[in-house]
Each structure stands twice: as structure tokens, then as C-alpha cells.
Amino acid sequence: MHISDFDYELPPGLIAQEPVRPRDASRMMVLNRGTGRWIDSEFRRLPEFLEPSDVLVLNDTRVIPARIIGKLERANGSSRDVEVFFAARVSESAWEVLCRPGKRIR
């Protein structure tokens, strides 16, 4: 598996700029793994889809606008665009990052 397996195009107009009000009105996709069918629902309906044996994992991370585009220049004269996403602060002077190369430029 490669990290590029998770790449997808997301039009900027579909990226939420602020939380929906009320918060439980946020959209939720529900997938029936048995049939492969999915429905577009709302988060407030989550209890309707949970079974007694289900495990619910909560993710309380926050997204920060910490993405930069740079250029990696090599000694041989070639260069490549690179995207760096700052995922988490590790210490005062270090971050955990995800890097993705772009197109090679000659």
C-alpha cells in the first residue's frame, strides 16, 4: 500500500470553512457493508445505525491550516515541487509532517 492510494480530488467549494449549526446537522455517509449500498444522512441520526455490539471510536483532533508548497532543488539542476502538511507538533521546534512530491521540473 502506498500513501498515494489515499489521494483524491476535493473541490475547494466542498471543504467546510466553519462548522455547521447546529453541529449535529452535519452530513454523514452510512455504508451497509453487506450490500455495499450507502445513504446520505445526518450525524444526529447516528444512534439509529449503531448495534449493541458496535464500537464507537471518537476522534477529537482539529485541523490546522498548515500546508505549504515548496520546491526541492537537486545538485544536478533538476527540481520538483513538494507539498508539506504539518500534522502534529512534536516539540517546540519539531513537527510531524506528511510530504508529497509533485511534478518533476527540469
Do both 80 and 53 map to the same domain?
no
The answer to whether residue 42 sits within a structural domain is: yes
Q: Is the pLDDT of residue 10 over 60?
A: yes
**Domain hosting residue 39, numbered range:** 20-59
The answer to whether residue 9 sits within a structural domain is: no
The answer to whether residue 3 sits within a structural domain is: no
Do both 89 and 73 map to the same domain?
yes
The answer to whether residue 79 sits within a structural domain is: yes
Rounded to an integer, what is the distance from CA 64 to the centroid of its chain? 11
pTM, entire model: 0.50
pLDDT digits (tens, 9 = 90+) for 31-73: 998 999 999 999 999 999 999 999 999 888 777 768 888 888 8
Total count of domains within the chain = 2
Instruction: Report how far residue 43's alpha carbon sits from residue 59's, in angstroms, rounded to the nearest whole number.
Output: 14
